[in-house]
Amino acid sequence: MEKLITLDTETTGLNPDKGDRIVEIGCVALDGRVMRTTDECHLQLYINPERDVPEEVVAVHGLTNEFLADKPVFADVVDQFLDFVKGGTLVIHNAAFDAAFLDMELGRLGRGKIRDYCGVIDTVKLAKKLLPGRAVSLDALCRYFEIDNSQRTLHGALLDAELLAEVYLSLSRGQDQLELDRINPEDIPTIPPPSAFRVVRATAEETAEHERILGIVEKKAKATCLWHQLEAAGKLPTAQTSGAE
């Protein structure tokens, strides 16, 4: 299974080529199609940038020079960061910005570029492709997919990575259109008997996420989805347990 990790950074400014540095990295590792809340799925690193943070930038993310003074420099956390992300695919909103800063920090240490360790997906490009004509800022996408971003009073790398995880799952769920007319019936394999299937039970967290997505679908469609209609009528299919558990 592909290892997907949403990532965001906070910095001292906008230009790594002019001396701006990273002050925070936030990462969230997705477990399949679910964002877990366990500590091992999250990484938050505050970093001493070895330079002052301008007041106008502090107003954006709230990370002051005093707060960052006793934090480790990037060289002290680079191995922890790379161990968390290497071998995976980073999901980044406006990837060119964050990748440029990561490349700069890695380059200062002779550690190559971020794409030497993992792939990169840019959700800005993905959103523009899937939602043409719509605003694609993180806040705009949260509003579109009805994701609660009320805690985002200041930018924060971990919070934004968590919001991005929800946005990416909504962008990539792949249920916005059905193109059955493109399928050749002769290419459809024979369905195995029920006894050949392994039954996988949904967890409470997965069931809650399923209900959240159905709620969004129903609100946009202004109708009750078939799943809830069958549920109300007591006609949902019951999982068979004849296969391997």
CB 30 within 8 A of CB 61: no
Q: Which helix (H) or strand (E) holds 55?
A: helix 55-61
Distances (CA, A) of 215 to 139, 146, 165, 234: 20, 10, 18, 19
Active site residue 155: yes
Closest CA to 209 of 152, 147, 138: 147
Distances (CA, A) of 169 to 8, 123, 180, 234: 16, 11, 23, 29
Report the alpha-carbon distance of residue 177 to residue 174 in Å, rounded.
7
State the catalytic residue, choosing from 42, 61, 93, 155. Answer: 155
Beta-carbon contacts of residue 77 (< 8 Å; ≥ 6 apart): 45, 47
- What is the token pair recorded at 136? 């694609």
Q: Catalytic residue numbers? A: 155
